Amino acid sequence: MTINVQNFIQDFRDLYLKSPQCGSWTRASENCDYGDITTVSKDCYMCFNSGNCREAYYCEDSRELKDCVDCAFCEACELCYECVDCNNCYGSNYCQDCVNSEDVHFSYDLKRCRHCIGCVGLRDKEYYLFNKSCTPEEFKQALSTLDISNPLIVEKVDKKVEELKRKVPRMYVHQFDTENCTGDYITHSKNCHRCFDTRHTEDSGYIYQANLDKGTNDSWDCGPIPTGMDLCYDIAYSHYLFNCKHLYWCGNLKDCQYCTNCFESENLFGCHYIQRKQKGFYILNQQVEEDYYRKTTRAITDLLRRKRIYTLHDLLNKDLSAPTPEISDSQLERKCVLCGEVFELTENERKFYKEMDILYPIYCPECRAMQRFRLRNERKMYKRTCGSCKNTLITTYPPESPFIVYCLDCYWKHMG
Ligand SMILES: [Zn+2]
Ligand SMILES: [Zn+2]
């Protein structure tokens, strides 16, 4: 079998369209049909990228929620509504950045508090109204008039809290157990450059939404939800990788580049929808000899450089007839070709690019992250038929989307 190097980009795109996509990644869950990437959950509705939840509705990027509605980036909460970045809270509404608290409402940055309304920055307090101590009776009275179904009341309380938020000092970043990190919402990490919503990450940069248990090391431009990665670049929605570049929706790979929907393999280049259990060398889903693989992937890499392909998103979508400006490698402060924002290449980043044989980026970190985010569908649900078993799917793929979409069972059953 021979690979037509000159035709690689088109062949890669054609193969992508011919390869099945998974209609819904909800697994090990019961009665959670509406939503996506919901795992080990029960009776949830319209939850995305969430796990270990029970009776959660419209919750995103959260874990271990029970009886919660409209929460995002929350963990281990119960009976909460409209909360963001809360951890281990109970019976609370409209709260942000609250931890180990109960019966707190319209509050910001509370730790170990109970029975508070409209409070900001308190620690170990109970019975407080707008940062002032009150009696249990006064609290009860205030709570009984706090009708959250009335938008006028919500607006009034919000306004008062906003004023308080301006007066109470807050921490300049949300970091916990970190060393030498820039970015926000980082825990248990070291030497991170501009990472967000990341935990257990070391010596890495521009890692976004790495909010699962296993960490990321020596990697740049990964996320959303990368987990267990070493020496990786330009990765979205994938897990357990070593020395991989430009992947989307992959897992347990080593030494792979430009792949989607690939699992348990090594030495894949430009492949879609395969699971090889680590045997052989593959280009465009075709098995080749090792020598041929090395030579041909080098030639394809050179071609992609000449065609100014920087990311997996470029390889899938870039209009090749449109000219791309040339920026010299010595230019470290550069203007993003997509949004015009000025960004800088740090020394660590350059070292990584050199070691990993990656072109210096011409898109800013935010645009690169946006490209990875856009590989997935919008968080909207549609009815569609499984391309194989014809069962009805509730999926983020709109009926008119051109892809072959399978249910989870068929997706795994037919994978080569
Ligand atoms: Zn940009
Ligand atoms: Zn099916």
| Sequential DSSP letters for 19-32 | SEEES---BS-BS-
376 occurs within a structural domain: no
Task: Establish if 58 belongs to a structural domain.
Answer: yes
Query: Quick one: which ligand is closest to 336's CA?
Result: 1
Dist. CA 338 → ligand 1 center (Å)? 5
Q: Could you tell me the two tokens for 125?
A: 């307090």
Question: How many A from CA of 348 to the centre of ligand 1?
Answer: 20
pLDDT on residue 323: 85
In a domain, 53, yes or no: yes
Separation of 360 CA from ligand 1 center, angstroms? 14
At a CB cut-off of 8 Å and minimum separation 6, what does 182 contact?
192, 193, 194, 195
Can you give the pLDDT at residue 211?
67
Closest ligand to C-alpha of residue 366 is 1
Going from the Cα of 388 to the center of ligand 2, the distance in angstroms, rounded, reads: 5
Residue where a domain terminates, one of 167, 202, 220:
167
Which of 110, 135, 167 corresponds to the end of one domain?
Answer: 167
Q: Which ligand is nearest to the CA of 393?
A: 2
Assign residue 170 a region: left if phi > 0, alpha if psi is -120 to 50, beta otherwise?
beta
Question: In angstroms, what is the span from residue 143 Cα to ligand 2's centroid?
Answer: 50
Task: Tell me, yes or no, whether 324 lies in a domain.
Answer: no
Q: Per residue in 241-273, is it b (16+ CB within 10 Å) or e — as a string?
A: bbbbbbbbbbbbbbbbbbbbbbbbbbbbbbbbb
Distance 20 CA to ligand 1 centre (A): 31
Distance 400 CA to ligand 1 centre (A): 30
In a domain? residue 180 = no
Whole domain around residue 119: which residue ranges?
41-167
Give pLDDT tens digits along the chain (416 positions): 689 999 999 999 999 999 999 999 998 999 999 999 999 999 999 999 999 999 999 999 999 999 999 999 999 999 999 999 999 999 999 999 999 999 999 999 999 999 999 999 999 999 999 999 999 999 999 999 998 889 999 999 999 999 999 999 998 999 999 999 999 999 999 999 999 999 999 999 999 998 677 789 999 999 998 889 999 999 999 999 999 999 999 999 999 999 999 999 999 999 999 998 878 999 999 999 999 999 999 999 999 999 999 999 999 999 999 888 888 999 999 999 999 999 999 999 999 999 999 999 999 999 999 999 999 999 999 999 999 999 999 999 999 999 999 999 999 999 98
Ligand closest to 365 (CA) is 1
2 lies in some domain = no
Q: How far is the CA of 366 from the centre of ligand 1 (A)?
A: 6
Backbone dihedral angles phi then psi of residue 9, each to the nearest 5 degrees: -60, -50
What ligand is nearest to the CA atom of residue 406?
A: 2
Q: How far is the CA of 23 from the centre of ligand 2 (A)?
A: 9
- Return d(Cα 78, Cα 92) in angstroms, integer: 8
Domain count along the chain: 2
Q: Give the pLDDT of residue 1.
A: 67
Could you tell me if residue 100 is inside a domain? Answer: yes
The Cα 406–Cα 268 span in angstroms is 23
Half-sphere exposure of 345 (CA within 13 A, CB side): 22
pLDDT value at position 279?
84
- Could you tell me if residue 36 is inside a domain? no
Query: Of 134, 167, 200, at which residue does a domain stop?
Result: 167
Quote the CA–CA distance of 245 and 239 in Å, as a whole number. 13
CA of 397 to the centre of ligand 2 (A): 14
